[in-house]
Amino acid sequence: MPDSVSDVGEFGLIDAVTARFPQGDGVVVGPGDDAAIIAVGSGRVVVTTDMLVEGRHFRRDWSSARDIGRKAAAQNLSDIAAMGARATAITVGLGAPGDLDVAWTLELADGMRDECARVGASVIGGDMVSSETVVLAITALGELDGLEPVLRSGARAGDVLAVCGRLGWAEAGLRVLSRGFRSPRALVDAHRCPEVPYDAGPEAATLGATAMCDVSDGLLADAGHLAESSHVRIDIERERLEITEAMREVGSALGADPMTWVLTGGDDNAMLATFPAQVPLPERWRVIGRVYDGEGVRVDGAPYEGDAGHVHFS
Ligand SMILES: [Mg+2]
């Protein structure tokens, strides 16, 4: 029988988890005291928090503990990047059933550690409680490195809308898993953990992005957040959106239109930003639309018919 969380006890488990988190240069006091202390070079701290609940945001039979740990960290690290910042540290709150395997929990910790390592962030602390299902609450901290933060509210008529990263992959993977399939692997893996272009966030800030967010709820929903905060209208052009061959194949196998996943699928954590039209953009930033006076989001000039993406508390 593997050790369960209740066999090891809260403090034993916290010690075992903490031992897996190397501490970066910016950490003055790491895990083990009442609170951690991190150095802040610029004098400004970017903070975000996000929760994941088993059954609603992940399933233990669809994703490994490692993937769940990576995804949970990625969602928070992505929000830091979407401000134009570089993540430096996360803290983790974990609710865990008493009969949860210790090995599963340590794998979860490894996933968080590995995703944080991609951006040079440290896991600096957290807490653990018993709960009926696995619940994760992560707080991420970030550093602007002297850049101005890119808010959602700065888009102006005449700007272009550009995206860096994947759209629709995670949703396609989720549809595949929901039908009981395990391939195409690239799409299934994209649902299990996003490939976030973290450095595109600070890059956009450097390039002079006027507004930015990451695509967690879906392209139309998140473009809608930019439009609403900036008091502008955003038009997206379908022909500029990329549908991969794998997505096309899954679409025809499932009798679904993959364009719907690209427009409304969440969880890929692409960076979505507006830029003044004259800014030359690096190749990985694809222009997919334009900003106009007005309000709301349009697709090819018309209101989108259908569900625009993930709605919280639906
Ligand atoms: Mg976000």
Considering the domain architecture, whether residues 16 and 123 belong to the same structural domain is answered as yes
Task: Out of 143, 170, 198, pick the residue that ends a domain.
Answer: 143
Q: Is residue 267 marked as binding? A: yes
Residues whose beta carbons lie less than 5 angstroms from ion ligand 1: 79, 214, 216
Domain of residue 86, CATH code: 3.30.1330.10
Considering the domain architecture, whether residues 109 and 185 belong to the same structural domain is answered as no
Please give the share of the chain, as a percent, with pLDDT higher than 70: 97
Does some domain include residue 155?
Answer: no
Q: Is residue 189 marked as binding? A: no
Domain count, the chain: 2
The Å distance, Cα 267 to ligand 1 centre, comes to 10
Task: Out of 84, 116, 143, pick the residue that ends a domain.
Answer: 143
Domain of residue 192, CATH code: 3.90.650.10
Average pLDDT, the chain: 93
Does some domain include residue 310?
Answer: no
Task: Out of 113, 143, 173, pick the residue that ends a domain.
Answer: 143
Considering the domain architecture, whether residues 120 and 171 belong to the same structural domain is answered as no
Report in angstroms the alpha-carbon separations of 181 from 189, 213, 259, 310.
12, 32, 21, 23
> Which structural domain range is residue 80 located in?
8-143
Does some domain include residue 148?
Answer: no
Q: Is residue 84 marked as binding? A: no
Report the pLDDT value the prediction gives residue 234, as an integer from 0 to 100.
Answer: 98
The Å distance, Cα 222 to ligand 1 centre, comes to 8
The Å distance, Cα 192 to ligand 1 centre, comes to 18
Six token digits for residue 157: 């008529």
Q: Is residue 79 marked as binding? A: yes
Question: Helix count (H) and strand count (E) of the chain?
Answer: 10, 13
Q: Is residue 110 marked as binding? A: no
Q: What is the pTM of this model?
A: 0.92
Considering the domain architecture, whether residues 96 and 177 belong to the same structural domain is answered as no
Residue 218 has pLDDT above 70, yes or no: yes
Residue 185 — very low, low, confident or very high, per pLDDT cuts 50/70/90?
very high
Q: Is residue 15 marked as binding? A: no
Of residues 240 and 32, more confidently modeled: 240
Report the pLDDT value the prediction gives residue 311, as an integer from 0 to 100.
Answer: 54
Does some domain include residue 153?
Answer: no
Q: Is residue 208 marked as binding? A: no
CA–chain centroid gap for 171, Å, is 13
Query: What does the pLDDT average to over 43-66?
Result: 92
Considering the domain architecture, whether residues 169 and 107 belong to the same structural domain is answered as no
Residue 112 has pLDDT above 90, yes or no: yes
The Å distance, Cα 82 to ligand 1 centre, comes to 7
Range in 27-41, 121-135, 206-220 with the lowest mean pLDDT: 27-41
Does some domain include residue 291?
Answer: yes
Per-residue pLDDT tens digits for 170-183: 999 999 999 998 88
Report the pLDDT value the prediction gives residue 314, as an integer from 0 to 100.
Answer: 41
Considering the domain architecture, whether residues 120 and 179 belong to the same structural domain is answered as no
Considering the domain architecture, whether residues 98 and 218 belong to the same structural domain is answered as no
Considering the domain architecture, whether residues 247 and 211 belong to the same structural domain is answered as yes
Does some domain include residue 2?
Answer: no
The Å distance, Cα 164 to ligand 1 centre, comes to 14
Residue 8 — very low, low, confident or very high, per pLDDT cuts 50/70/90?
confident
Report the pLDDT value the prediction gives residue 219, as an integer from 0 to 100.
Answer: 97
Q: Is residue 300 marked as binding? A: no
The Å distance, Cα 143 to ligand 1 centre, comes to 16
Considering the domain architecture, whether residues 118 and 59 belong to the same structural domain is answered as yes
Residue 86 has pLDDT above 80, yes or no: yes
Does some domain include residue 1?
Answer: no
Does some domain include residue 308?
Answer: no
Considering the domain architecture, whether residues 266 and 195 belong to the same structural domain is answered as yes
Considering the domain architecture, whether residues 119 and 212 belong to the same structural domain is answered as no
The Å distance, Cα 11 to ligand 1 centre, comes to 33
The Å distance, Cα 103 to ligand 1 centre, comes to 31
Q: Is residue 307 marked as binding? A: no
* Residue 153, burial from CB neighbour count under 10 angstroms (0-12, 13-18, 19+): middle
Q: Check if the beta carbon of residue 52 is closer than 8 Å to that of residue 135.
A: yes
Considering the domain architecture, whether residues 164 and 299 belong to the same structural domain is answered as yes
Q: Is residue 130 marked as binding? A: no
The Å distance, Cα 180 to ligand 1 centre, comes to 29
